[in-house]
Amino acid sequence: MRHWSRIIGATAAVVAVSLPVLASAETLTIALGTNVNTLDPHMSASVGTDLSVLSHIYPSLVIRGPDLKLQPAVAKSWKQVDDLTWRFTLVDNASFANGEKVDAEAVKWNLDRVRDPKVNARIKAWFDLVKDVKVVSPTEIEVTTSAPYPAFADQLSMFFLLPPQWAASHKPATETLSGGRYELAENVPGDHITLKANPKWWGEKPAFDTVIFRNIPESASRVAALLAGEVDLITSIPLTEVKRIKDSGSATAGSVPSTRSLFIKFNTQKPPFDNKVFRQALNYAVDKQGITEAIFDGAADVSQCQVLSPNYFGFNPDLKPYPYDPAKAQQLLKSSGVDLSQPIALDVPTGVYLQGTEVAQVVADQLTQVGLNLKISEMDFSTYMNKYLRSRELAPMSVLAQAWPTIDADGLLTLFAPGNQYAYWDNAAFGKLLEQGRSTTDKAARQGFYTKATALMCEEAPALFLYVQPATYGTSKRVSWAARGDDWVRAFDLKPVQ
């Protein structure tokens, strides 16, 4: 039932957005929880802040719409010529504010820049499979990859184009030259960034003349700013605040499922988590539904025994969560032969996941009730990541939420592939299925492989599957937002309310 109302709501939002709107000289203010750090679109992989702001200034080949589907931008169409070749046809009227054309040469220059080891681009990893970029004509470009890269077009929605000639004599980290809907008007580091509509923008005129991104780190202060009428859009607020905003009547709020699933990762390479029955037992011992209802007011969806949320390509609709069954859990724990008295560490990163530390305490409590001896240790995210990737000492259990920006199983599931440094799980059959999924670009065939892979992962339980994180937001009554769960915060997804 909840699903239906959400789908209807989302559809209504999309319809509302697609209605023609009179252009008005309005200012839109958006609050961001974290700081915008750099203006160089190749020097940040942070979609929710840097890339969102830069998506107003720089053009991209494709963009991802509020419905999470790819839409044309500089590329008016694209197709896969074969498993290893992509061809993009570009619009012919796109240009930067200095007159530089956004043409095939410019695209090639950007793809070369991001892969240049000397540039040390932060997003280089996204393009490591790109082997060759060939300019066919000013409006035609062909990219060859060294292996099939089915999500390449999706990846390009996070890749913004700099003006090549301008970049030769300017510093993109601090300077900008617009080729998008807006241009930079003011940047007060740590406080706000003001954008003005780009008069030379080659597309449809945006609805807001001025867009201000304000940095408000404290969630209570973001809510206050919304209620005081200072900002029009806020995100990442606790569910209790969603309710308060709705009750206040002076603004609206809500949530949509995000693309990020929260789970408890097991270090299956060390006892006792090398024991499959033990891992399954833990999945039975936690009341996922109860957690989503109590802590998220029902706004979080229980994970369907996989790390993919329904938005992902490759999502397996046939899987069902492990039921909450403490008796069965205890029985499995017994048959697993694991000594339950041993202390087991549960690492919890603080300050990164919406209400994540609360969830960790509830899970720990429920696992304690079936007889485990759990010890929570909280730590800051960088210490956590250091254990995860650098010193490679992932705790037996750790709270983790992962998403993949292309919203494709190839990517998110790869983080569990054997040999992958993120995995801490070594299952050859799973790895084989992922390889097969990547070896073709045929959608039905790929879906088949991922259906098998997710089913295997559910059965093997390398994690305690919990829920899909809700993406919470609040908007002023002046605007409507096509709420989305994939971190993008863009002025052109908002429309003034008449």
Partner 1 sequence: MIRYVIGKLGEAIVAVWGVVTIVFFVTRLLGDPAALLLPVGASAEQLDAFRAALGLDQPLWQQYLSFLAQAVQGDFGQSFVFNRPAITVVLERMPATITLAVTAMVFGVLIGGGAGAIAATQRGKFAEFAVMTLALLGQATPVFWLGIMLILFFAVDLGWLPTGGYGSLAHLVLPAFTLAVFVSASIARLLRSSLLDSMKEDYVRTAQAKGLPPGQVFVWHALRNALIPVVTMVGILSGELLGGSVVTETVFAWPGVGRLIVQAIESKDFPVVQAGVAVIATVYVSINFLVDLLYGVLDPRIRRKGQ
Partner 2 sequence: MKAFLRALVQSRGGLFGILILMLLVAGALLAPTLGLPDPVRGDLRARMAPPTWTGLFAPGAHPLGTDQLGRDILSRIVYGSRITLTIGAYAVVLGGIVGVMLGIVAGYCGGITDRLLMRLVDIQLAIPLMLLALLVVAALGPSLTNLVIVLALTSWIRYARIIRGQVLALREREFVQSARTIGASTAQIMLRHILPNVMTPALVVATLELARIIIMDAALSFLGLGVQPPAASWGRMLAEGRVYISTAWWVVTFPGLAIMLTVLSVNLLGDWLRDYFDPRLRT
Q: Residue 365 touches which of partner 1, partner 2, none (CB < 5 to 8 A by kind)?
A: partner 2
Sequence-distant (≥ 6) Cβ neighbours of residue 341 within 8 angstroms = 373
Which region among 65-73, 166-174, 198-206, 287-295 touches partner 1 (by CB under 8 A)? 166-174
Nearest distance from residue 221's CB to partner 2, in Å? 10
Interface pick for partner 2 out of 10, 340, 362, 415 (rule CB under 8 A): 362
Nearest distance from residue 359's CB to partner 2, in Å? 10
Token pair of 410 as six digits: 């190839």
Q: Residue 290 touches which of partner 2, partner 1, none (CB < 5 to 8 A by kind)?
A: partner 2
> Is 351 near partner 2 (CB under 8 A)?
yes
DSSP per residue, 170-233: S-TTT-----SSEEEEEEETTTEEEEEE-TT-SSPPPSEEEEEEEE---HHHHHHHHHTTS-SE
Nearest distance from residue 437's CB to partner 1, in Å? 15
What x/- string results for residues 235 through 264 when contact with partner 2 is judged by CB under 8 A? ---x-xx-xx--------------------
H-state helical runs in 439-486: 443-460
Which region among 281-289, 340-348, 388-396, 440-448 touches partner 1 (by CB under 8 A)? 388-396
DSSP per residue, 261-306: EEEEEE-TTSTTTT-HHHHHHHHHHS-HHHHHHHHHTT-SEEP-SS
**Angle in degrees, CA 472, 474, 477, rounded to 5:** 155
Which region among 36-44, 110-118, 291-299, 456-464 touches partner 2 (by CB under 8 A)? 291-299
Nearest distance from residue 375's CB to partner 2, in Å? 7
> Is 190 near partner 1 (CB under 8 A)?
yes
Contacts with partner 1 by CB under 8 A: the residue count is 54
Token pair of 386 as six digits: 């250091």
Q: Residue 277 touches which of partner 1, partner 2, none (CB < 5 to 8 A by kind)?
A: none
> Is 358 near partner 2 (CB under 8 A)?
yes
Nearest distance from residue 397's CB to partner 1, in Å? 20
Q: Please give the helix or strand (H or E) that residue 27 lies within, else none.
A: strand 26-32
| CA–CA distance, 12 with 10 (Å, rounded to integer) | 5
| CA–CA distance, 234 with 222 (Å, rounded to integer) | 6
Nearest distance from residue 475's CB to partner 1, in Å? 16
3-state helix, strand, coil in the chain (%, to 5): 35, 25, 40
Inter-CA distances, 495 with 31, 91, 211, Å:
16, 25, 12
Which region among 268-276, 286-294, 319-327, 418-426 touches partner 1 (by CB under 8 A)? 418-426
The site for partner 1 (CB under 8 A) is made up of 35, 37-38, 40, 43, 45, 117, 120, 122-126, 128, 171, 173-174, 188-192, 214-218, 220-221, 224-225, 227-230, 380-383, 385-386, 388-390, 402-405, 411, 414-415, 420-422
The site for partner 2 (CB under 8 A) is made up of 219-220, 223-224, 238, 240-241, 243-244, 290-291, 294-295, 348, 350-351, 357-358, 360-362, 364-365, 375-380, 383
